[in-house]
Structure 1
């Protein structure tokens, strides 16, 4: 059985701090609007117990900016709707963050991708039911069905998959209902890879054979 969404499971050490600049979050906001319009990010009363779903991040120095926890209902976030994760410990399941808001409950999965692939600079996490169901047919890499989101096991599973994937890559979180991750080196290629995978899922287009393996 899938677990409830939106619950922070890692140990969070957060302190209030400065907000991101408008420029730093501009591309995140643009993609967030697009994903909300597609229904793969947001908050709806009849999905996942009514809690928010989907989150985006971008690398920032040694850390990353990520959308705030339970912010899916808001059409726009602005600088106040992002948290800066400064450091993390995957083995200890701990995150240190600052900013005007606390980070998404999926921050550890984002951290795992950045930790394992220095060239990864963007992570988009959406809840796309059609793509999630089609992931095996499309040959997308996937975490095991018994690995829950927000756990050290999920972070390690994401890290292992990202380590051998060609960027941008799309991963299925099999134990996290409808959960998909897109990871890449720039916002445009990461977002477009996710949109292409969603289109392939809808149209039953055969997968591109090179997507799952690093070149």
Structure 2
């Protein structure tokens, strides 16, 4: 059970334009990875119904990205209706712009930080796993204690790690102030996923 019982609560201001879902074919590989991570228990929902974890894919070179929507961790399988497009963010204003059938995940600011820093990143995964988190804490780049998820401060902490550590090579980091919280990323969805699978194998 997470220490932070606000998991899933959106902390940014959102300009959400409700639009039809993207074509399912566009989301096929992303959704396949979502199914796989759900099956491994890396994202889903706690017994109290609070969902956790989200998954995204770059949409274009400008840094727009597709991400699973808020509170979708409660669903075993997702459809195109559960994904939305983040079109821009204004970190200093804590403002996110998105369009689609659902509002973007509460962790969208953190995803945006990674995409904005490195154009080569095409996928970002955020999962929860206590054993992986404990195993990697301070062994891989780790965000600052006291910074909560989904905030501009967390996004800035991630940018700092990307610029000042070997995070671009490791492609995985943990969030000290967000117990169980782990992020991975990569040049492809497969790349981002394999980093997580290796971390999972190390604790099994």
State the number of aligned residues: 198
In structure 2, what is the equivalent of residue 131 of structure 1?
A: 132
1:44-193 equivalence runs, <5 A: 44-45=46-47, 49-61=48-60, 62=62, 63-136=64-137, 139-163=139-163, 164=165, 165-167=167-169, 169-193=171-195
* CA distance in structure 2 between the partners assigned to 1:167 and 1:189 by the alignment: 12
CA contact (8 A) 1:121 1:186 kept: yes
* CA distance in structure 2 between the partners assigned to 1:191 and 1:160 by the alignment: 23
SS in 2 for 1:96: strand
RMSD: 1.5
Q: With the length of structure 1 as denominator, give the TM-score of the two structures.
A: 0.87
Q: What is the CA distance between 1:197 and its match in structure 2?
A: 1.2
In structure 2, what is the equivalent of residue 207 of structure 1?
A: none
Q: What is the CA distance between 1:167 and its match in structure 2?
A: 4.5
Q: What is the CA distance between 1:69 and its match in structure 2?
A: 0.4
Q: With the length of structure 2 as denominator, give the TM-score of the two structures.
A: 0.92
CA contact (8 A) 1:43 1:72 kept: yes
Which runs of no fewer than 5 residues in structure 2 stay unpaired?
A: none
CA contact (8 A) 2:127 2:181 kept: yes
